[in-house]
Amino acid sequence: MKRGVPLIITFVTGVLIIIAFFIPHKPFGNLEQRFLIWYSIVAGFTMLLGIDSLIKYHIRKIRFREKGWGYSIVTVTGIVITLIFGFYSWYAYHTPLALGSPFMWLYTYMIVPLQSTMFALLAFFIASAAYRAFRARTIEATLLLIAAALVMLGRVPLGEALRLKLPAIANWIMEVPQTAAKRGIFIGTYLGAVAMSIRVILGIERTYLST
Amino acid sequence: MILLIFMLLPPSHLKVYDTPNDEGGSITIEWRLSPSETEREFRGYEIYRALTPQGPFEYVDFVMKGKNRYEDKGVKDNKPYYYKVVAVRDDERVESPVAGPGIASPQWFNTGRINVLIFTIIFGFFVIYYIKRAKRDKSLYIRKITGLDAIDDAVGRATEMGRPILFSFGLGALTDVVTIAALSILRRIARKAAEYEVRLIIPNYDPIVMAAAQETVKQAYTEAGRPDLYKENDIMFLTADQFGYAAGVDGIMIREKPGAIFFQGFFFAESLILAETGHSVGAIQIAGTTAITQLPFFIAACDYTMIGEEMYAASAYIDREPQLLGSIKGEDAAKLLIMIIIILTAVIGSIGFFIPQLSSIYEKIVSFFETS
């Protein structure tokens, strides 16, 4: 019973979505959209589950003085301050998202710079990963190094200034071998996803269900 | 002649018809662009609709210049509508002749997707046929997937080092097929972790995925006979913000120093931030994703990387159940069919460069594979 009901729901939903893809007539036409709206509503409520898990995790760390509990104080304080700012902005500006509201101030001057900082770190990580990947220890790595050097040089003004047809070579690498490899992976991935979906709909794949 | 150059000319050849392959309530209007479009002052077209050819016409919408098609989605089914399109240049206006009637109606089958239906049936047939065959003949071959074989070694290494294991689903939701595939890999890892008594940490981006992961791990620990080792607190929600999640997982890696890290699921720009931090703490890393743009980053930074379809084969590879193996075989048959079609089309297209008859066959094949 505990397994049967979810399997039936999965089967019926899966089959309905497939039918809706081919039948534009009501009520099938916008069925996928409607299911996604339902999912968004459910997902909205599960955010409470997430917040509950987050607060419980950090309160526990603070209570038992676990390793890194100081960071947990910062996290819990951050959650409380954001909530206060959010409710105050809702009360004073009728929406927390109003321009100039304390909540938006917090978002613009604290969250956005923090996000940008994390994103900017990517440049350094790309450099360190590229250094390891491009070490010419094997034939494949050497080919990768040559291709990457040609593409990078072809994409900067220096490559154009050298007049060695580097931009054209870079474009060829990106449009022919790179696209061919990417399409091969695409076909495999999408067929894999379709086969996996068939397995899930037919109830053959049950690893996502517990007993 | 000089007068014609300065005159504002209307759009011509107005066509009004029921929008094909829709759920009704829509009429499409098409026209040939006004010759006055080239003028700087030309602004665009106003669409007018009426219930009779004589009017009265009501204003529907404005379309920028350069466009020659409009879908009117504000009509009722089975009612005749007449349209005119008005060219607008500054304050000047000139009308096209009235066209119609156009009658909106819903369709029961999207003819633009008949090709998808044919391939779905063929693919479904392959999968079901091989599943049936696999039930009879249990010795189906599946090639080695190094990333999946390395799971046991990675868990073993973390055990020897006395460090925990970290598993990340990335930013995928439970509606992504790849997340479901990642759950089956997690089950295998959790079972091994329970056997070896290693701590398993799973920080999450999506609360629904978190709940599914908790269930999967609990199940795996029970299967391994160690439900006492299961800790719900180690499978926690971090944040639903992309870089906040990356920062959180990086922090856990730096503090806990995991011996093995698994990145399985859908990743975006945070992939390399996570994988490089994992590399810096000396963990063995196994990644698997269907996000093609992130694959090179994982290949560069991780010890093993499962590419796209290898992830979907995980449950079949791990459990060796004939039914699951059969579906992988069906996938291979479909891939072979696609390869044959691609090669044949390429050959026909290449020869068609010299023989016009083959060129038209090539065009037909290509247009058959286009969908709406």
Q: What is the mean pLDDT of residues A83-95?
A: 93
Q: What pLDDT score does A74 carry?
A: 94
Q: What pLDDT score does A77 carry?
A: 95
Rg (CA), chain A: 26
Q: Which of A56, A208, A211 has its CB closest to that of B212?
A: A208
Mean pLDDT of the residues in chain A: 88
Q: Is any Cβ of chain B less than 8 angstroms from the Cβ of A211?
A: yes
Asked if B273 and A118 touch (Cβ cutoff 8 Å), the reply is yes
Number of domains in chain B: 3
In angstroms, the CA B105 to CA B25 distance is: 7
Q: Is residue B2 part of a domain?
A: no
* pTM assigned to the model: 0.85
Same domain, B302 and B363: no
- Residues in chain A closer than 8 A to B21 (CB atoms): 24
CA B85 to chain centre: 38
Does an H or E element contain B265, and which? strand B260-266
**ipTM value > 0.85:** yes
For chain B, the helix, strand and coil percentages under 3-state DSSP, each to the nearest 5: 50, 20, 30
Same domain, B202 and B272: yes
Q: What pLDDT score does B216 carry?
A: 93
Q: Which of A18, A54, A189 has its CB closest to that of B290?
A: A189
What band does A173 get if pLDDT is binned at 50, 70 and 90? very high
Please determine, for residue B213, whether its predicted confidence score (pLDDT) is greater than 90: yes
Q: Is residue B317 part of a domain?
A: no
Residue B355 has a CB neighbour count (10 Å cut-off) of 12
Q: Is residue B1 part of a domain?
A: no
Domain ranges of chain A: 1-66, 67-124
Same domain, B176 and B293: yes
Q: What is the mean pLDDT of residues A200-205?
A: 85
Share of chain B above pLDDT 70, in %: 98
Q: Who's near B84: CB < 8 A, 6+ residues apart?
A: B14, B48, B57, B95, B96, B97, B98, B99
Asked if B78 and B105 touch (Cβ cutoff 8 Å), the reply is yes
Same domain, B270 and B338: no
What band does B262 get if pLDDT is binned at 50, 70 and 90? very high
In angstroms, the CA B149 to CA B304 distance is: 10
- C-alpha distance from B241 to closest chain A C-alpha (Å): 9
Lowest mean pLDDT of B168-172, B226-230, B326-330, name the range: B326-330
Mean pLDDT of the residues in chain B: 89
- C-alpha distance from B37 to closest chain A C-alpha (Å): 35
Q: Which of A46, A67, A187 has its CB closest to that of B335?
A: A187
Q: Is residue B306 part of a domain?
A: yes
B4 residue type, one letter:
L
Torsion of CA B150, A128, B311, B199, to 10 degrees: 50
Only one residue has tokens 């940490």, namely B201
Sheet-wide strand order for B27-32: B12-18, B27-32, B69-72
Q: What pLDDT score does B287 carry?
A: 95
Three-state SS at B136: helix
Q: Which of residues 140-179 of A touch B (CB under 8 A)?
A: none
Q: What pLDDT score does B239 carry?
A: 92
Same domain, B77 and B154: no
What band does A210 get if pLDDT is binned at 50, 70 and 90? low
pLDDT digits (tens, 9 = 90+) for A12-27: 998 999 888 888 888 8
Asked if A86 and A96 touch (Cβ cutoff 8 Å), the reply is yes
Please determine, for residue B238, whether its predicted confidence score (pLDDT) is greater than 90: yes
Which CATH number do you get for residue B67? 2.60.40.10
Q: Is residue B4 part of a domain?
A: no
**Pairing state between β B92-95 and B165-170:** unpaired
Q: What pLDDT score does B4 carry?
A: 56
Three-state SS at B236: strand
Q: What is the mean pLDDT of residues B275-299?
A: 92
Same domain, B204 and B73: no
Q: What pLDDT score does B5 carry?
A: 61
Only one residue has tokens 């779905």, namely B120
Q: What is the mean pLDDT of residues A120-149?
A: 84
CA A48 to chain centre: 20
A74 residue type, one letter:
V
Residue A162 has a CB neighbour count (10 Å cut-off) of 12
Same domain, B166 and B53: no
DSSP sequence for B148-202: HHHHHHHHHHHHHHT--EEEEEET--TTSHHHHHHHHHHHHHHHHHHHHT--EEE
Q: What pLDDT score does B2 carry?
A: 53
Q: What is the mean pLDDT of residues B200-212?
A: 94
Q: What pLDDT score does B135 carry?
A: 79
Asked if A195 and B315 touch (Cβ cutoff 8 Å), the reply is no
What band does B372 get if pLDDT is binned at 50, 70 and 90? low
Q: What pLDDT score does B112 carry?
A: 86
Lowest mean pLDDT of A49-58, A127-136, B191-200, name the range: A127-136
Q: What pLDDT score does B39 carry?
A: 82
Q: Is the CB of A53 less than 8 angstroms away from the CB of B210?
A: yes
Q: What is the mean pLDDT of residues B329-351?
A: 90
Please determine, for residue B205, whether its predicted confidence score (pLDDT) is greater than 60: yes
Same domain, B198 and B298: yes
The more confidently predicted of residues A106 and A198 is A106
Same domain, B98 and B225: no
Which of these three, B281, B312, B343, is where a domain ends? Answer: B312
Residue B41: give the domain boundaries: 9-103
Q: Which of B116, B308, B327 has its CB closest to that of A188?
A: B308
Mutate to test the interface with A, among B119, B221, B294, B331 (most CBs of A within 10 A): B331
